[in-house]
Amino acid sequence: MRRNPREIELTNRVTTRRALVVGGLMTGFMGLLGLRMRHLQVEEADQFRLLAEENRINIRLIPPARGEIFDRNGMVLARNAPSYRIVMVREDAGDIEEVIGRLSRMIEMDEEQVDRALAEMRRSPPFLPVTVAEQVGWDAVSIVAVNAPALPGVAPEVGLSRAYPRGSDFAHVLGYVGPVSDYDLSQMEEPDQLLRIPRFQIGKVGVEARLEDQLRGKAGTRRVEVNAAGRIMRELDRREGQPGADVQLTVDAALQGYVQARLGEESASAVVMDVETGDLLAIASSPSYDPNLFVRGISVADYRALTDNKYRPLASKSVQGTYPPGSTFKMITAMAALEEGLIGPDDTVFCPGHLEVSGRRFHCWKRAGHGRVNLETSLSESCDVYYYDLALKVGQDKIAEMAQRFGLGIRHDLPMSAVAAGLTPDRAWKRRVHGQDWLVGDTVNASIGQGFMLASPLQLAVMTARLATGRAVRPRLIKSVDGVETPSGAGEDMGLNPRNLRKMHDAMFAATNDRRGTAYGSRIIEDAYRMSGKTGTSQVRNITAAERATGVIRNEDLPWERRDHALYVSYAPAEAPRIAVSIVVEHGGGGSAAAAPIARDIVLQALYKGPPPLEAYPAKDRERIREQQERLQAVQPMANTEGSGRA
């Protein structure tokens, strides 16, 4: 059937409109597609190029060299030593148990470490090297190299590990490093990516931990090409990191070694302080331990031996140990009364051997009493009754305030672990902590450093330095970081009455140099180096009435842990003080017998910068001292065997 021309024209019009619409839509779609392709290929090209590059190029961190630690004279205390280890790649080894069996017959291997390595290999990619033996010697490296054909996948590697050449001398000061643990990471808000490198080491305690950020340094990077499985194909480039900062301490390694040797196996501590600058010249706790054991991974047996030792070798007694200061606190009670104008230096008190206070009898250490004493004789002979009487006049709040002015009851800012604040109690403290009112008997006990009073050897050294100088000397352990000197601890004038301070100096001099002084047996007879000081005996237990009635059980007849602590504080030379020393011998008995002789030896060693001449000692002591010097020199590490790391 033929269509008329009108129908054909209408159909053509409709078809044309549809073609135009479809063509327009297709053109628009192609245009959008072209714009999108342009956006992806031109404008976003850099981003996609980076994504593609990252699929085959990885950036790996390079651990920096840890900063080293030196003493005040440039002697190396902590260094980075080459450390050899044996690693294994699972995919190259084949039967890993068989290969490890062969290896264990060639070199000595720790069974526990091997078990950890096997577990690590099973959960790691097969191409990653896993350490199977650490801290091996050159002989083991040579054996592995020679037997390489029989040990597929096994290879020696060299890296850096921390080493402490002075061993136990600085364990409580430096601390040690160890692998990063999950606990370490949990204590950080934003852990450095370095810390996620397997077996990366950080400071755990002591200076190593407190100055971790400075000692660690900044990581370097290297770009490596990897295949689809993540295996490294080649290194493209490398940027070395920034090594950690070197740290110089104020401590003198030779003096520290002597102090540690002199303390021996006593449960004791000693602090030697430069009174002009606040520099800590020695800060020792005994017994000590070898920090190198922790770096290598201490065995269960070795660790148990340390924790089971009743003398607590892991504790840094010089800063974290707190003890009743005993009679070494009497200078504070006296200064509080003098500065308040409540007594004069020549005022006297009669000591019959006790003082009745609120129906309770407080005894003097000398049962028969000292008779009539003034400030100088009371301190020289350590009369307790004199200070009981002073305390009742001045009150505990003033005593506590004076104690804090002299550095007691304050946590001094040192980069060591667990630095203790001690305790200088007052009325408000007892009400807040114990919910009880302060009693007059508490004041009497506190006046001679007993009761609630607690102080660390560090605080006692600070107290003594401030007594010697009249300045608020602050302890300083870090001399410089990367050559930049830290602020001096010389301190400002304390504003004390010079006459009162002079009287205190006279009394401390008499305590050591007067024939009736409690430390006379440990005096120095070299005029230029005579020392001033004060003994202290800190009671660990209360003496019962029954014990007093029978003459009191002798201290040496008690079990060790129930004996009194022995203390001694001193400064020297008496006329021009240069150093202050504090000694605490745990459960050592009397300060005059156990602590003062140690202090005298340390003072002379520090002032002479080496073994002093025997003429500095009283004639009766010289033969014993000569034998002691020979014995101590034999056990001390040679100060010059380790080369200095800096001028």
Q: Name residue 537's beta-bridge partners.
A: 566
Give yes or no: 480 in active site.
no
Please, where are the H alpha helices in 494-589? 498-513, 545-549
Q: Name residue 607's beta-bridge partners.
A: none
Q: Name residue 239's beta-bridge partners.
A: 221
3-state secondary structure 143-159: HHHHCHHHCCCEEEEEE
591/540 Cα distance (integer angstroms):
14
Task: Give the number of other CB atoms < 10 A from CB of residue 639.
Answer: 18
The Cα-based distances of 514 to 381, 429, 467, 531, 593 in angstroms read: 9, 39, 20, 12, 16
Task: Give the number of other CB atoms < 10 A from CB of residue 341.
Answer: 9
The Cα-based distances of 470 to 313, 405, 497, 512 in angstroms read: 35, 11, 9, 20
> Helix or strand or coil: residue 508?
helix
* CA dihedral (46, 48, 51, 53) positive or negative: negative
The two structure tokens encoding residue 38: 């342009």
The two structure tokens encoding residue 629: 């010097």
Helices 498-513 and 330-339: crossing angle in degrees, nearest 10, is 150
Phi, psi of 626 (to 5 degrees): -60, -45
- Beta pairing class for 69-70 and 247-249: parallel
Contact 416, 478 (CB under 8 A): no
Q: Which amino acid is at 407?
A: G
> Helix or strand or coil: residue 410?
coil
3-state secondary structure 450-474: CCCCEECHHHHHHHHHHHHHCECCC
* Residue of 267, 286, 288, 327 marked catalytic: 327
Task: Give the number of other CB atoms < 10 A from CB of residue 544.
Answer: 11
51/556 Cα distance (integer angstroms):
78
The Cα-based distances of 363 to 367, 518, 543, 563, 589 in angstroms read: 7, 18, 10, 18, 18
Q: Which residues are catalytic?
A: 327
